[in-house]
Amino acid sequence: MELLTGGQMLPRLTDRERYYPRYCENDIVTVARSLVRALAHLHLHGIAHRDVKPENILYFSESKDPTVKLPDFGIADTNAHNVNATDMVGTPQYIAPELLL
């Protein structure tokens, strides 16, 4: 992976003084589209990331460019089509609600 100097998404969502103004609608759409494409590509190849969260979304640069990358495959599963839906892995605050039932 190339060097990503833009940092994590979390500070851009929470540090209002440093990253003001907040996201515009076009930036949100660009980031969401990139993440959905990345996850679709992973799932097409049988990989489940299992820990998507703002801390695991990195920006390419510190500029306003909303290009993001999805790293941290430490708990990814390479058998995504057969992942047991009851496996409790990932960061608790971001686990799918249906896994908590």
**pLDDT surpassing 70 at residue 80:** no
Active-site positions read: 51
Look at the block and give the residue holding tokens 């998507």: 52
Residues 7-65: tens digit of each pLDDT: 999 998 888 777 766 778 888 899 999 999 999 999 999 888 888 999 999 998 887 77
Full-model pTM: 0.79
Helix (H, G, I), strand (E, B) or coil at 73: coil
CATH tag, 9-100: 1.10.510.10
d(CA 95, CA 79): 19
Label residue 86 by pLDDT band (50, 70, 90). low
Residue, of 97 and 60, whose pLDDT is higher:
60
Domain residue ranges of the chain, discontinuous segments joined by +: 9-100
CB atoms within 10 A of CB 43: 13
